[in-house]
């Protein structure tokens, strides 16, 4: 609550707005960001593989730290290849995943439906199901699956008050509150804690996405570029000086 009240951006509305019928107040300077990982894991069935069912795969959407997405996501609809029976599969509760057997690779459309106070518009992601690994073509192992995961974040730029109140203290959900007066100070209200990986049969294969790597690389790159900029600027100014002197000489 401290942080929430610190930001004068909240327009001083009463926070206890339980009546969902009346238009919920939206917080303009708060951004709720839900880091998610979505992807597929595919196991070769080895001896039990048939022509039409050579791999068993699972497509899923999970919180980046394996946290529960149920607070934000109401249901997930996976749209499979039309050759599947009932290609539109809806998963109504976490964990939001779907397992199937098949032989072919195709693009899966993952549509996330959110709770009403978060957003009433669904969001669609696309993921290409990969069954065959790139390295060692031809040799597949029953034990080692082919894992393709993508990290992304769902951003709610103008969250409603209810929603914000609900997810403020959620371990897996990040909220960014920017202070007024245009000062770019971003406070992360919640650090994405390393939650204990819940008992998930596939959790051993989950990749860990940490931003530290990228950040350091980016920082280094920026430094370099900035250095070059400074150099160039100096050169330019010195050149200008020289030019002037040249012009004077010529006259």
What is the DSSP secondary-structure string of 140-173? --SSS-EEEEEEEEEEESS-BHHHHHHHTT-TT-
* The two structure tokens encoding residue 20: 């969902």
CA distances from 182 to 8, 94, 178 (A): 12, 39, 8
Which part of the chain contacts another protein (CB under 8 A), choosing from 78-86, 112-120, 138-146, 197-205? 112-120
**Torsion 64-66-70-71 (CA) sign:** negative
Applying CB under 8 A, which of residues 6, 8, 13, 28 lies at the interface with another protein? 28
Asked if 195 contacts 171 with a C-beta cutoff of 8 angstroms, the reply is yes
**CA–CA separation, 190 vs 158, rounded Å?**
18
The four Cα atoms 180, 120, 151, 29 give a dihedral, to 10 degrees, of: 0
Pick out residues in 121-140 that bind another protein (CB under 8 A). 121-123, 125
Inter-residue contact 165 to 68 (CB < 8 Å): no
Q: Is 228 in the site for another protein (CB under 8 A)?
A: yes
Question: Would you say 49 or 179 has its CB closer to another protein?
Answer: 179
Is residue 12 near another protein by the rule CB under 8 A?
no
- Cα distances (Å, whole numbers) of residue 126 to 20, 100, 102, 132, 151: 32, 17, 19, 18, 12
**DSSP conformation letters of 48-61:** G--SS--EEEEEEE
Q: Say whether residue 11 binds another protein (CB under 8 A).
A: no
- Segment contacting another protein by CB under 8 A, of 75-83, 102-110, 131-139, 212-220: 212-220
Give me the least distance between CB of 102 and another protein, in Å please.
27
Segment 146 to 205, residues that bind another protein, using CB under 8 A = 151-158, 160, 174, 176, 178, 182, 184, 186
Q: Which of residues 30-59 bind another protein (CB under 8 A)?
A: 31, 33, 35
Radius of gyration of the chain measured on its C-alpha atoms? 25
Here's the x/- map for another protein, 62-81, by CB under 8 A: it reads as --------------------
- In the complex, the smallest distance separating the C-beta of residue 123 from another protein, rounded to whole angstroms, is 5
Question: 142 or 229: whose CB is closer to another protein?
Answer: 229
Instruction: Out of 128, 144, 198, 217, name the contact with another protein by CB under 8 A.
Output: 217
Phi first, then psi: what are they for 56, rounded to 5°? -110, 125
Residues making contact with another protein (CB under 8 A):
21-24, 26, 28-29, 31, 33, 35, 113-114, 116, 118-123, 125, 151-158, 160, 174, 176, 178, 182, 184, 186, 209-211, 213-215, 217-222, 224-229, 231-233, 235-236, 238-240, 242-243, 246-247, 250
């Amino acid at each position: 609550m401290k942080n929430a009240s610190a930001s004068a951006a909240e327009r001083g509305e009463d926070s206890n707005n339980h009546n969902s019928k009346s238009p919920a107040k939206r917080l303009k300077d708060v951004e709720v960001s839900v880091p998610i990982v979505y992807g597929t894991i595919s196991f070769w069935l080895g001896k039990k593989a048939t022509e039409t069912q050579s791999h068993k795969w699972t497509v899923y959407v999970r919180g980046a730290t394996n946290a529960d997405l149920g607070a934000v996501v109401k249901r997930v609809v996976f749209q499979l290849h039309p050759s599947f029976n009932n290609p539109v599969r809806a998963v109504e509760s976490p964990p939001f995943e779907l397992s199937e057997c098949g032989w072919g690779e195709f693009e899966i459309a993952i549509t996330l439906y959110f709770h009403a106070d978060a957003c009433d518009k669904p969001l669609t992601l696309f993921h290409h199901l990969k069954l065959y690994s790139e390295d060692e073509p031809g040799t597949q192992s029953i034990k080692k699956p082919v894992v393709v995961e993508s990290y992304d974040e769902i951003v709610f730029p103008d969250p409603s008050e209810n929603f914000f109140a609900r997810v403020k203290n959620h371990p897996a959900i990040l909220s960014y509150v920017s202070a007024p007066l245009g000062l770019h100070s971003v406070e992360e209200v919640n650090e994405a804690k390393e939650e204990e990986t819940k008992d998930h049969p596939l959790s051993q294969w989950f990749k860990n996405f940490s931003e530290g790597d990228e950040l350091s690389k980016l920082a280094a790159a920026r430094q370099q570029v900035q250095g070059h900029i400074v150099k160039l600027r100096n050169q330019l100014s010195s050149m200008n000086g020289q030019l002037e002197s040249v012009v004077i000489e010529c006259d």
